[in-house]
Amino acid sequence: MTDRTLTPAPLALDGVTIARGEQRLVDRLSLTVAPGEIVTLMGPSGCGKSTLLAWVCGTLAPAFAATGRVRLGDADLTALPPEARHLGILFQDDLLFPHLSVGGNIAFGIPRAVRGRAARRAIVEEALESAGLAGFADRDPATLSGGQRARVSLLRVLVSGPRALLLDEPFSKLDATLKDQFRETVFARARADGLPTLLVTHDPDDAAAAGGRVLTLWS
Ligand SMILES: Nc1ncnc2c1ncn2[C@@H]1O[C@H](COP(=O)(O)OP(=O)(O)OP(=O)(O)O)[C@@H](O)[C@H]1O
């Protein structure tokens, strides 16, 4: 699913400052996340964690001003529109489209360059199989459990061929068992595919499971 012809590359933030008026939410942050590394971002509510991820994605709200650069390997993403950055993003809510089938939701993530119904269908089937959801393509997402919905949202991201993952509390609404399973699934994919990953969370268990560096932002 992730394009294995591309060499995994580090995600580098370089001298990032994000301000809203006089208030600096992020002040000259530099950080390099290696391929397959999961760096956890923590800090009190409102300190700017989601805002930092939005800046990395290229979706920072106009209320903010930002300086600094973001790079993936040799590629400077800073001036690119969000869709040209090839970043995979998961949020607290799974955000599945209710009017599309499970397969339709996953196919939505497949790049337009992949042509033909059969080719797109094969990618969807392979993705579903890899996540223990074989045979789910024609299901209505409303009929899925929370854990199944979470996996479908992950698959939609993975079929897009992301070069890095940005995770904004994607585990926080799942109950304990599902949370452990889904977290392991996401982390295993990040490591196996060599995706540099930034995880925003309030849960120290997430940070422990990520097992890497923890960066704390203060308000
Ligand atoms: N679109 C926006 N326009 C103006 N201000 C915003 C916008 N989005 C967020 N903010 C403000 O920016 C600050 C940082 O918000 P952000 O959501 O990044 O915090 P956070 O650390 O992710 O918080 P939480 O842990 O509660 O999700 C907050 O004061 C918030 O109210």
Vertex 92, ends 68 and 212: CA angle to 5°?
60
Contact of 174 with 146, CB cutoff 8 Å: yes
Sheet of strand 23-33, all strands in order from the earlier edge strand to the far edge: 23-33, 11-20, 65-72, 75-76
CB atoms within 10 A of CB 213: 13
Q: Say how far apart CA 42 and CA 202 lie, in whole Å.
A: 6
What are φ and ψ of residue 25, in 5° steps?
-85, -40
Q: Is 47 in the pocket of ligand 1 (CB under 6 A)?
A: yes
Of the candidates 95, 96, 105, the residue with the CA atom closest to the CA atom of residue 138: 105
Q: Please indicate whether residue 48, judged by its CB atom, sits closer than 6 Å to ligand 1.
A: yes
Predicted model pTM? 0.93
CA of residue 186 relative to chain centroid, distance = 9
Distance 15 CA to ligand 1 centre (A): 20
46 lines ligand 1 (CB under 6 A): yes
Spacing, Cα 48 to ligand 1 middle (Å): 6
Q: What is the pLDDT along the chain (219 residues), one digit of tens a residue?
A: 555 567 899 999 999 999 999 999 999 999 999 999 999 999 999 999 999 999 999 999 999 999 999 999 999 999 999 999 999 999 999 999 999 999 999 999 999 899 999 999 999 999 999 999 999 999 999 999 999 999 999 999 999 999 999 999 999 988 888 899 999 999 999 999 999 999 999 999 999 999 999 999 987
Distance 24 CA to ligand 1 centre (A): 12
Contact 79, 143 (CB under 8 A): no
Establish whether residue 113 lines the binding site of ligand 1, counting it when its CB lies within 6 angstroms of any ligand atom.
no
Ligand 1 centroid to Cα of residue 132, in Å, is 36
ipTM (interface pTM):
0.95
Angstrom CA distances, 29 to 32, 54, 123, 189, stand at 10, 15, 38, 27
Which residue's CA is minimally distant from atom 31 of ligand 1?
46
End-to-end CA distance of the chain: 38
The residue whose CB lies within 8 Å of the most ligand 1 atoms, and thus the one to mutate among 23, 41, 50, 93, is 50
